[in-house]
Structure 1
């Protein structure tokens, strides 16, 4: 199908192909977000998909169209987690063998889920630090064993399958006016965006990437896909160094805007969705809601859909997510504090420097042989970011020499 053109994409046929296997996920009106942004916001809950991600759609759409001979030889894929689960589920459903390559940094929860959905039909190979590393290994394995490679995004059958998200949205909300979609490799935005643009010509299509992995935005700015030298892998479901050629072409045609969101804001959004709506999302799944502040003026008064792309969040990551959120919101600060050479300095710091609502969350002397008078690593959590200037003034007034680690990334990474 790679020889076909984008004009031959048939999203309705893909929907008919997968509808009895893939769960039709709800499109839920969110009253809180709607009131906050003065519009009607609906969440497309792909976190409630069978494999907790939209990725099953594309995987099943492609694998179900393979010949009997191709199915007998088996399939291979490379994935940071969600595509792997979709392929594993499809292999089990269609009775074919799958070999799945995943980066070594893939959260354990996603590895376990992939094995579970495969029900013995798949073999997992953990290799490389990023998706792009394991992709090379997977492609080499595919060629050596004459199997069929199932790409995570850059394939028309995959794009067609992901576009069924748009088919369901339009059935449930025919008067949709805007949609915000997360972008990793671009399959979801390319498919869903193309379908909706064809059927709702005036719709606003907004794509969003994590700030630390802006591969589609860079492609837009350079006139084609480019390989980013480094990426922040925290938003693992969207941490791709290079978007696809096909997905780039389609996204360039249909997207009206590309936006970036800081990883810290993604973390804040994950916590808010959990605390306010009892929705468990993975970092990539929070992108469409995290970017709403940047879209406020554009979406005001409109019917807007935010695609919640996945809910495979390992609970073991929650402490890291909370920490990143507090740092981003200016509620947590780390210092190297050199205590004055006088009796009671530590007591003075606790009683007179800390505000009434400030908490010490970490305290350790850096030089173990100079306790009580050597430099200490101190973490302080504030109730409000506005309390920070007053905290610094009190440190200065009481002659505490400090280094603000939040402002020194090198020291922060080394010590914290």
Structure 2
């Protein structure tokens, strides 16, 4: 069907085939801007926004946040590379951790193996439309392999629970990818990465790109519950 063909194209052609991207440039006389290879500096603006928010706080709070752990939703790596670069430069005592979907842990395995590794996506998880990628970006990976304090993979069970808590306590509708930071907290595994939970933990809600009917299903526990924690 159409949706299956589109998903195949996005995963196995659009992400990987640079020849097609160059052809797009030539045939359309437009410049193709890759979704995570070319936007690292722009994504880093979010890091400066975080810094501005911290600087507006009282001094005791600023001192605590200087040692915070930042949990960043990560797929191709553009956001994490951009924000992480800013935070490492201006908050050297802070920790930056990439949070990936357990259904698409390409960056997680790439960091373990020390090279970009491809994974096969055998199911459509809650993070599929945001960070569900088969391979991390080349430029982001070069920055992240030296600049991260770790990575953590979270399953749909935790992601769904995080989405429900965000909706219940903050009144926000977020996509699965945006909830991965809170999912990492709920996993209870942050101390394994050397995170001192006495220090603040910060994450970014990265978007609300989710079908309303699907979100309602997650809220009812029809998806994103049980296994996959």
Distance in 2 between residues matched to 1:185 and 1:263, nearest whole Å:
19
| Alignment partner of 1:313 is 2:215 | no
Q: Which residue of 1 aligns with 2:31?
A: 148
Please report how far the alpha carbon of residue 272 of structure 1 lies from its aligned counterpart in structure 2 after TM superposition. Answer: 1.5
Q: Which residue of 1 aligns with 2:44?
A: 163
Which secondary structure state, in structure 2, belongs to the residue aligned with residue 324 of structure 1?
A: coil
| Alignment partner of 1:189 is 2:66 | no
Match of 1:273 among 163, 166, 173: 166
**Structure 2 vs 1, CA of residues 329 and 233 (structure 1 numbering), >3 Å: closer, same or farther?**
closer
Q: In structure 2, list runs of 5 or more residues that go unmatched.
A: 56-61
Which structure's CA Rg is the greater one?
Answer: 1
Alignment check: 8 A CA contact 1:131 1:240 kept: no
Please report how far the alpha carbon of residue 182 of structure 1 lies from its aligned counterpart in structure 2 after TM superposition. Answer: 0.4
Please report how far the alpha carbon of residue 190 of structure 1 lies from its aligned counterpart in structure 2 after TM superposition. Answer: 0.2
Q: Which residue of 1 aligns with 2:111?
A: 220
More strand by share: 1
Match of 2:224 among 300, 303, 325: 325
**Structure 2 vs 1, CA of residues 262 and 206 (structure 1 numbering), >3 Å: closer, same or farther?**
same
**Structure 2 vs 1, CA of residues 194 and 161 (structure 1 numbering), >3 Å: closer, same or farther?**
same
TM-score for the superposition, normalised by structure 2: 0.81
Calculate the aligned-residue CA RMSD, in Å.
2.4
Alignment check: 8 A CA contact 2:179 2:205 kept: yes
TM-score for the superposition, normalised by structure 1: 0.46
Please report how far the alpha carbon of residue 301 of structure 1 lies from its aligned counterpart in structure 2 after TM superposition. Answer: 1.7
Q: Which residue of 2 aligns with 1:251?
A: 144
Q: Which residue of 1 aligns with 2:8?
A: 129
**Structure 2 vs 1, CA of residues 274 and 301 (structure 1 numbering), >3 Å: closer, same or farther?**
same
Alignment check: 8 A CA contact 1:231 1:241 kept: no
Distance in 1 between residues matched to 2:155 and 2:146, nearest whole Å:
26
Matches for 1:14-413 after TM superposition, within 5 Å: 105=3, 127-129=6-8, 131-135=10-14, 136=17, 139=21, 140-155=23-38, 158-174=39-55, 175=62, 176=65, 177-234=68-125, 235=127, 236-293=129-186, 294-295=188-189, 297=191, 298-321=195-218, 322-328=221-227
Please report how far the alpha carbon of residue 296 of structure 1 lies from its aligned counterpart in structure 2 after TM superposition. Answer: 5.1
Q: In structure 1, list runs of 5 or more residues that go unmatched.
A: 1-103, 107-125, 331-416
The alignment covers a number of residue pairs equal to: 206
